[in-house]
């Protein structure tokens, strides 16, 4: 995807994607708001200002444009602040793992300490009711290579999803998909030694990001962003091949995260009938709550059928 790609929506009609900006202030404007000017197009605000003042509208610098849209939380709030915070949390906890000896730089470490820090052990969830592990496991990593790969994927995919979905919806997708992956591990892990094997990693949430981007691209095939994200299917396929080929990777977590990301976007777009950047509403919250409720039911069912041995 091009590094300079910017998803913008008309400042007066937030549902309309556009590639045209006011030649004076930089506001994104749709076809209805474009007013021809000697150079490019002007927005209604600049034209009104020029008419009232009887002179040329005030020129706004590029820095002021970025500041304005960043403060407004618009699509130019570049830098993906939520993604950076998520990466910071993951890195900080990995340093804590190193400090307490839970893991080593190249792997290894104390399994006991790693479990105490929140690794997902299905047996401990089913027998001891450590349901909090379904959340904490997505913040831990087993080696420098493990966290480096995950944080790189989070930075690339997360930055684009945050730009497309906005901070709040992006964070909701990340958290729900991350927990969904761990719920799949708990529900689908064989009741053998694997039930007591620790599972960790942000890849459940990252696969959720992949699934969210892929679903968004399907619903927006005719837009510039949809076409740019058309390769997400290939990215997912390659990562799934790695998941099933490389030993020691939890396919349940990756599939669960992928499913969680897809379901979240379907819920937040009302199955493609609404733009992902549309303001939060009661229906959005209700549909996300329904996904969480399904995960809770799955956990309750698994716990009820978990052997106490």
pLDDT in tens, 111-131: 999 999 999 999 999 999 999
Q: Look at the alpha carbons of 219, 260, 292, 307 in this order and tell me if their dihedral is positive or negative.
A: positive
Percent of the chain with pLDDT over 70: 87
Residue 37 has pLDDT above 60, yes or no: yes
User: What value does the mean pLDDT of the chain take?
Assistant: 87
What pLDDT shows up at residue 75?
41
DSSP-derived secondary structure letter, 42:
E
pLDDT (tens digit, 9 = 90+) per residue, 147-198?
A: 999 999 999 999 999 989 999 999 999 999 999 999 999 999 887 777 889 9
Residue 276 has pLDDT above 80, yes or no: yes
Percent of the chain with pLDDT over 90: 60
> How many C-beta neighbours within 10 Å does residue 145 have?
12
What pLDDT shows up at residue 78?
52
What pLDDT shows up at residue 22?
86
What pLDDT shows up at residue 136?
98
Mean pLDDT, to the nearest integer, of 96-113?
95
Domain boundaries 81-304, corresponding CATH code: 1.20.1540.10
What pLDDT shows up at residue 1?
42
Residue 57 has pLDDT above 60, yes or no: no
What pLDDT shows up at residue 2?
47
The predicted model scores a pTM of: 0.77
Residue 265 CB-half CA count within 13 A: 25
User: Residue 197, class by beta-carbon neighbours within 10 Å (0-12 exposed, 13-18 middle, 19+ buried)?
Assistant: middle
* Residues whose CB is less than 8 angstroms from the CB of residue 157 and which lie 6 or more positions away in sequence, other chains included: 206, 209, 210, 213
Residue closest to 276 by CA, chosen among 32, 14, 33, 2: 14
pLDDT (tens digit, 9 = 90+) per residue, 8-32?
A: 788 888 777 888 888 888 888 888 8
- Pairwise CA distance, residues 47 & 68, whole Å: 19
Please tell me the least confidently modeled range out of 183-187, 276-280, 302-306. Answer: 276-280
Residue closest to 204 by CA, chosen among 244, 155, 255: 255
274 vs 139, which has greater pLDDT?
139
Residue 100 has pLDDT above 70, yes or no: yes
pLDDT confidence of 54, banded at 50, 70, 90? low
Residue 275 has pLDDT above 90, yes or no: no
Strand-pairing partners, residue 21, are 28
What pLDDT shows up at residue 6?
59
Please tell me the least confidently modeled range out of 99-103, 106-110, 225-229, 274-278. Answer: 225-229
Residue 69 has pLDDT above 90, yes or no: no
pLDDT (tens digit, 9 = 90+) per residue, 241-260?
A: 999 999 989 999 999 999 99
Residue 62 has pLDDT above 70, yes or no: no
222 vs 83, which has greater pLDDT?
83
pLDDT confidence of 77, banded at 50, 70, 90? very low
Domain boundaries, the chain: 1-78, 81-304
């Amino acid at each position: 995807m091009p590094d300079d790609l910017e998803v913008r929506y008309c400042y007066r009609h937030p549902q309309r994607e556009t590639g045209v900006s006011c030649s004076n202030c930089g506001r994104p404007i749709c076809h209805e708001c474009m007013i021809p000017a000697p150079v490019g197009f002007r927005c209604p605000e600049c034209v009104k200002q020029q008419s009232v003042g009887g002179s040329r509208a005030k020129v706004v610098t590029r820095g002021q444009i970025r500041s304005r849209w960043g403060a407004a939380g618009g699509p130019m709030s570049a830098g993906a602040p939520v993604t950076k915070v998520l990466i910071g949390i993951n890195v900080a906890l990995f340093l804590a793992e190193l400090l307490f000896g839970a893991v080593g730089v190249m792997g290894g470490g104390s399994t006991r300490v790693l479990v105490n820090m929140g690794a997902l052990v299905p047996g401990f969830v089913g027998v001891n009711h450590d349901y909090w592990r379904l959340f904490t496991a997505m913040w831990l990593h087993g080696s420098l290579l493990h966290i480096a790969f995950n944080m790189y994927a989070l930075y690339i995919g997360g930055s684009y999803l945050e730009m497309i979905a906005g901070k709040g919806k992006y964070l909701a997708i990340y958290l729900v998909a991350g927990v969904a992956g761990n719920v799949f591990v708990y529900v689908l892990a064989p009741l053998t030694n694997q039930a007591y094997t620790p599972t960790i990693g942000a890849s459940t949430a990252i696969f959720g990001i992949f699934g969210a981007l892929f679903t968004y691209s399907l619903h927006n095939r005719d837009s510039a962003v949809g076409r740019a994200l058309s390769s997400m299917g290939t990215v997912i396929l390659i990562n799934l091949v790695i998941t099933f080929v490389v030993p020691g990777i939890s396919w349940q977590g990756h599939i669960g995260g992928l499913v969680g990301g897809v379901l979240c976007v379907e819920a937040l777009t009302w199955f493609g009938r609404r733009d992902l950047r549309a303001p939060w509403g009661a229906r959005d919250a209700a549909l996300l709550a329904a996904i969480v409720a399904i995960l809770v039911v799955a956990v309750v069912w698994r716990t009820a059928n978990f052997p106490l041995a």
